[in-house]
Chain A
């Protein structure tokens, strides 16, 4: 049972004379079984009399029914109660329960019995009818008379309504049993369940429940109607089956549809087989409860004793305070407090009420100084449910004179209401209230410093809380501003469009106008002189329009490609010597290209074995021992902490939580940056550790650009890629977030979706359900580094090769869209070169950048089209598309196999700062 929604409700509340206490108690005991109408039936003519003779109480108690009574309550009642008030509480809960359907053989072995039950309280009616074997169609019929249970009503000539009765079974079932003979010619029993209290019909997936009786006769041939019996049970999870069933039968291989059926082994040889099934249902149930407060004086201590009791289920918490005047300013009462009381910083006390022994409900006794004017409280049922009195605190006023009745205080004079407030943070109203609350909290905190001596205040927590609140507000503001402010404005001016005059550089984006080249493939190490070979191509790459090049991992490595680094300070590798590398970097700088170093921070190969013969002692300048290795890979017996990410199993994973490791790595990165001249980083296998460490490294080395490889699998169902890859891109976004946006990430999602779209001609995949690009680039374009291939996915490894022959469609997509595109070396030096060059030059000419706006104009089976920044239109796929003529005039820039790009002319856009 769980609370889902709570609605405010209006209900009576009254003062009651102790004389009527018995009635209340009766009600409480009734509420044991959650019967719904307690207070509604308990009348509304209570008399106020606060000085009832106490003798009466005893009498009443004596006559109070069979239930055990709390001793304390007794003694309390027997003394001088000068005030007593009962507040009715009405709340609704969404109660989850189940409908059970059971078919089994009656005791006489000849007839059968269908049992329909429900474990939620209510006035349940089974509305049912049958299908006969020789009947055609699915219309219900009246069952034979002998099948109709007593107490049933016939509805027209096709249905029966039979009320469910309380069952003797322990789980508070309401049930109805229908007996029938197996040979009565009935093919199926149809029914729906009706709750007469609320008038709700409970159906099965929008249609009637149908219990087939003839399925097991021979075959399906003579099954009647469109609704074949089994079709209504598909896919019920096994877990829903009662434990009473035999598991061996459940896992029968009858197929998915029948998996939830189980047959009673005893019935195996019969034509009809028994079964038991359950279906979850939920219902809004109203609960009437009450809270009553009695106050008496304790002459010995000059205190008021306040007895609070309620029939609410256990775990009720009372937030309470006292007040001196009618102002109802909460104050904290002087100790002693009841057990299980906590002092809250908002000047309230929180007390858990104690469940009554062997009875429903709970109680608590509070002691309050006599000179205090009143007692304030609210009840808290769970995180979201607060019970209040007409939206206000419950207020109990201690009358100074016991002869006077309670002054009609606020909320008690007219017909009072109890409202139940549900706190939902996503609602704007409560959001506001929440924030105001925080501001108040701050104020309280300030005055709290002064009023509560030496009390431990959880200021830090409050601070955290406020920061979170600020973030929430900022996110809200961001989402509204973002959706309403266009980044670009249209203006008919003659000047050509220009980029931001002062370009903001950040390591997550570079200038925002970057175009990456992956400057190697899986074979590049083979010649032993890659640095020199690449140097010759530097001018060429620059003239193609690349602004950043990604060089292979430079360190000493166990594998020739460099991804199994060993001595980090040894930069002589299969790609060339350290000096050649420096020379290459210098060359690229000369031609205006920034250089990314491929740094492998996740793992590192050891040079020595430990005493157990495990390779986990490192060599070279960073001669770490096994404390630098994460503890959770048994292969390497690390003594560090557990890994903060996924494990890479081929080498010891480095424990970045170690201060010395981070310090050494930062120093190393500094060295690469300063001595070698790298401008930024391509971060290998960042899944392996927490993104926050990356942020640390990036903050320390301030790269011009950084991109991480967060590569995990997309989601597939039955070998078919899901349209919605939000979870996949979310993981990448989460990582970027963990780096605080200081690094971008390769947009693996986009690559995967392009695969899906191009391979099977499903171009509709290229728009997500909000009409945005479905990859990381649709959610956080400035941090998405789009690519279609790299040394792992393609090259000679081909782990996840882009659909062959369709590479240019991929490039037409990534080079015209937002995000930072990355071009793979192999493609650059292939037949695609000139087409890629044209796309890059078009991108640069139109100043498309990582934050450009992408408007998807078509996403259909065979064609996808988008307009970017109102300046470039692109289509990919074999289908037809022409950009619409609007303010822009489109002229075709060029086209290739299954793609085409256009540029806007005449009217140009201006991008400005203001």
Chain B
């Protein structure tokens, strides 16, 4: 038998082999290599061996295949798996935090067959002190570690602040914010949300004479040149931070996370000076100047349920009134325009590199089963019973040739509190449908770092669904991730990628696979790494 192995890229192997009678061995999913007779399209008894057991045995002729399971793992094959690095992987003094742990972790991931890692890169760390002074050393050191470990890197550019771990906005930005609250979003009680800049200032020269858009642009350019040796090779993707938590959204629930009541509807964030200006202009332009004086007066507070006031009432709520439509259209279109600005900035910046640009959309699944979808509305998605709010979002992504990151792949309906009328599964399906319609590739994430009940099963279910997920990023490396409570189940999860449901010995030889070797290569690549 004559066999040749080629190393296609860092993480992919293809083994092509010929046996004495000229049969070609193609890599098969599921750790096995099979002999197939490429000339005749019939199944004949032949030899096959699995790298798992390395034994030769005659394949059973006439074994009826379970085509369903084949489809299932074919889909799983096409998913690349990443793991998020700790949020604070680089400290604010630009050193790598717990580098030894990360180094060990990277090795473990590599051995497991994970393709790459996701790294949040913080505006507040890189451009901490002065506008235009970038300090990339910590992140470069980390990128080198990742490169050395033979992993891919997906960078998330974070233009927001994090509360836990505490990573603030750049100091010079916060200083400006101290005297100028209006650069932040504000809720109806005029409380500013200091986690990120208001989208209303995107094109206003509020940052030492520059607009935030210019500042973001320069940041991206600096990133691109600082990491040019990694671009396209180690770095394969960049997520553009679009707002609070990096997501395309208003910080509608930013005060809610601390409350016991998770099912609160959140609040509209249109009360900073600049947002109110925009609203006023818009109202005047559309001939309803009175509608431009403020947001809905009858919307509930952050942690109240929808029916605690009239705006979101399922029947007869103001959201269905002409005013409601006026306000919600404006509020949501502002968000989409903001996303459009940032994504077009990113995609033009990175056009000449081989990295793919991503944007993240939140999954506001509480109250999804009501007609008014209040959580989505406050967050900026005008998605209600009779209107698909994600169509325009998907269209915007398509316009910028960006891929979409969707969280919540670990959430299942059955584990949601019944009273919140939520449905992560249905919402996810809706957004994915919109994406498919516009040809946008979806990348998945899990929402709960400390594990949602039944999370792995749900993730698998999501990855196997008809709508393709091209990349899944598991969040996130840290103490819990490696704990004995969690790591074994993660290992099992990863191995189930590689070893689909059926045991290799139960699989028949299949013509279909023989004639489609390229689709198997990624599977065999994982196999080679984990074998």
Contacts and interface: CB of A to CB of B under 8 A. Distances in A.
A interface bracket (residues with beta carbon within 8 Å of B): 35 or more
B363 to A, nearest CB: 13
B262 interface: yes
Interface in B98-115: 98, 100-105, 107-108, 110-112
Interface stretch (B160-168, B278-286, B437-445): B160-168
Given A463-B531, A504-B452, A469 B111 contact: yes
B484 A737 contact: yes
A171 B448 CA distance: 69
B367 interface: no
A37 interface: no
A220 to B, nearest CB: 58
A838 to B, nearest CB: 23
B445 to A, nearest CB: 13
Nearest to A487: B479
Nearest to B2: A450
B367 to A, nearest CB: 15
A477 B5 contact: no
A717 interface: no
A51 B262 CA distance: 89
Interface in B142-195: 150, 162-166
B15 A450 contact: yes
A500 B487 contact: no
A912 B15 contact: no
Contacts of A469: 108, 111
B449 interface: yes
Interface string A417-440: 000000000001000100100110
Nearest to B415: A502
Interface stretch (A228-236, A293-301, A320-328, A452-460): A452-460
B482 interface: yes
21 contacts: A428-B100, A432-B103, A449-B51, A450-B5, A453-B1, A459-B54, A459-B531, A460-B53, A463-B530, A474-B104, A474-B487, A478-B482, A481-B478, A481-B479, A484-B97, A484-B98, A498-B260, A499-B260, A504-B451, A741-B485, A913-B257
A483 B328 CA distance: 47
**Highest count of chain B CB atoms <10 Å: which of A439, A477, A914:** A477
A467 B52 contact: no
B3 interface: yes
B401 interface: no
A474 B531 CA distance: 18
Interface in A487-524: 489, 491, 493, 495-496, 498-502, 504-506, 508
B485 A478 contact: no
A641 B262 CA distance: 53
B15 A449 contact: yes
A446 B5 contact: yes
Nearest to B491: A470
B482 A477 contact: yes
B22 interface: no
A495 B111 contact: no
A257 interface: no
A473 interface: yes
Given A473-B111, A481-B479, A446 B54 contact: no
B54 A457 contact: yes
Question: Top 8 closest A-B pairs, CB basis?
Answer: A480-B101, A478-B482, A450-B3, A481-B479, A473-B108, A477-B105, A501-B262, A477-B101
Contacts of A69: none
B48 to A, nearest CB: 13
Contacts of B518: none
A740 interface: yes
B244 to A, nearest CB: 13
A505 B258 CA distance: 21
Contacts of B162: 914
A467 B33 CA distance: 22
A485 interface: yes
**Highest count of chain B CB atoms <10 Å: which of A458, A459, A481, A782:** A481
Contacts of B101: 476-478, 480-481, 484
B105 A782 contact: no
Interface of A: 428, 432, 435, 438-439, 442, 445-447, 449-451, 453-454, 456-460, 462-463, 466-467, 469-471, 473-478, 480-482, 484-485, 489, 491, 493, 495-496, 498-502, 504-506, 508, 737, 740-741, 782, 910, 912-914
Interface string B124-151: 0000000000000000000000000010
A506 B483 CA distance: 14
Contacts of A457: 51, 54
A914 B482 contact: no
B484 to A, nearest CB: 6
Interface residues of B, number: 61
A914 B491 contact: no
Interface string B30-58: 00010000000000000000011110100
Contacts of A445: 51, 528, 531
A458 B102 CA distance: 31
B479 A442 contact: no
Given A446-B5, A476-B101, A504-B451, 5 more contacts: A450-B5, A458-B54, A473-B105, A498-B258, A914-B449
Interface string B1-44: 10111000000010101000000000000000100000000000
B479 A910 contact: no
B421 to A, nearest CB: 16
Interface string B257-286: 111101000000000000000000000000
A556 to B, nearest CB: 35
B485 A481 contact: no
Contacts of B78: none
**Highest count of chain A CB atoms <10 Å: which of B4, B56, B482:** B482
A506 B485 contact: yes
Contact of A505 (B87, B108, B453, B479): B453
Given A462-B531, A470-B108, A498 B3 contact: no
B529 interface: yes
B450 interface: yes
B424 to A, nearest CB: 11
B529 to A, nearest CB: 6
Contacts of B485: 506, 508, 741, 782
B488 interface: yes
Nearest to A450: B3
Contacts of B530: 463, 466
A477 B480 CA distance: 10
A767 B118 CA distance: 40
Contact of A480 (B52, B100, B108): B100
A536 B102 CA distance: 55
A440 to B, nearest CB: 11
Contacts of A496: 260
Contacts of B163: 491, 912, 914
B258 A495 contact: yes
**Highest count of chain A CB atoms <10 Å: which of B448, B478, B484:** B484
A485 B479 contact: yes
A912 B164 contact: yes
B268 to A, nearest CB: 21
Contact of B450 (A435, A498, A500): A500
Interface in B481-508: 481-485, 487-488, 491
A718 B450 CA distance: 46
Contacts of B448: 502, 504, 913
Contacts of A460: 52-54
A502 B5 contact: no
A474 B100 contact: no
Interface string B236-248: 0000000000000
B111 A439 contact: yes
Contacts of A912: 163-164, 257-258
Nearest to A497: B258
Contacts of B100: 428, 476, 480
B486 to A, nearest CB: 9
Contacts of A482: 479, 483
